[in-house]
Structure 1
Amino acid sequence: MQFNVRVYGLLINNEREVLLTDEQVEGYRFTKFPGGGVEFGEGMTQALKREFIEECNTEVEVLSHFYTTDFYVKSAFNDSQIIAVYYLVKPVNELNFTLKTTAFDFDGDGPALQCFRWKKLNELKPEDVTFPIDQYVVKLLNEQK
């Protein structure tokens, strides 16, 4: 069994909305928090900052740890076990990417598509995100309202 270490950022704006990313990879659509895989030799916060630059063209400051997976989750894409770490983040500068208002409102075509949108925290439900760990994190966010 291999481990798949992931890191995600919870970016919450002044209107109490959290940033979500809608993605499509080889026909499979999913919604999650921005972030992704930790590469060999990276620390968690270093990987998160890299992911935000790669995905969002935005530099973020890591504010605090929010949650680390404490239950077993098998990857949706292979036979690895997911270990996911979530941090509260804020942008260093103004956001530098296009925001959408509708889920899966992709620009262009291709094997991998991505778009971003805000979701009001007081309306966020576990079913708004695809993966089990993200759904658990939504429950934790809801407890902090």
Structure 2
Amino acid sequence: MSKEFFNVRVYGILINDNNEVLISDEQEYGMRFSKFPGGGLEYGEGLTDGLKREFIEECNTEIEIINHFYTTDFFVKSAFNDSQIISVYYIVKATSNLNFITKTIMFDFDGEGEVLQSFRWVNLKDLTPDELTFPIDKHVAELLISSL
């Protein structure tokens, strides 16, 4: 019998000078998915510290938190386990050079392995919820589109 638990995740909405938002395409656990950059909070870590760590780990880029954008306000079960997902999204800006390669095609991974990741910029005027895989990210995309 599994025990249900909360899974707190934190994500950054990084918009560049060309009005494009950064999307992370990933392959892990045998599935492919697209999401905003970020990930799970580690025990003992605050939300903003966790997001800064995730951007350094995933994007090799330091960020500044501009403001809170959205926190999950509906039930979402994880696609990977029996946890309930609570996601917090922040608008962020890069405070260091962008030290990652971006692609133009979804899932255009370099190399092979169990865990793969690539990044791409999507113009905000072209952004649709279909660019993203998970229900919370789709909802955040809708909120982002309506805030333009």
Compute the TM-score of the two structures, normalised by the length of structure 2.
0.97
Q: Shift of the alpha carbon at 1:59? A: 0.4
Partner Cα separation in structure 2 for residue 41 and residue 27 of structure 1: 29
Return the offset for 1:37. 0.2
The CA RMSD over aligned residues, in Å, is: 0.6
What whole-Å deviation, never above 9, does each CA across 1:57-78 have from its counterpart, x for those lacking one?
A: 0000010000000000000000
Matched, 1:104 2:107: yes
Aligned to 1:2: 5
Gaps of 5+ in 1: none
Whole-angstrom CA distance in 2 between matches of 1:26 and 1:35: 17
1:26 aligns with 2:29: yes
Which letter maps to 1:12? I
1:26, distance to aligned residue in structure 2 (A): 3.3
The Cα of 1:14 is off from its aligned counterpart by: 1.0
TM-score w.r.t. length of structure 1: 0.99
Q: Which residue of 1 aligns with 2:91?
A: 88
- Rounded Cα–Cα distance in structure 1 between residues aligned with 2:65 and 2:146: 21
Matched with 1:118 is 121
Aligned-partner Cα distance in 2 for 1:127–1:99: 19
| CA–CA distance in structure 1, aligned partners of residues 65 and 77 of structure 2 | 27
How many equivalent pairs are there?
A: 145
Q: Which amino acid aligns with 1:36?
A: G
Question: What residue is the counterpart of 2:47 in the other structure?
Answer: 44
C-alpha separation in 1, matches of 2:9 and 2:30: 22
Q: Which ranges of structure 2 fall in alignment gaps of 5 or more residues?
A: none
Question: Which residue identity lines up with residue 21 of structure 1 in the other structure?
Answer: S
Work out the CA distance in 2 between the residues paired with 1:82 and 1:4: 5
Aligned residue identity for 1:72: F
Q: Which runs of 4+ in 1 moved over 2 A?
A: none
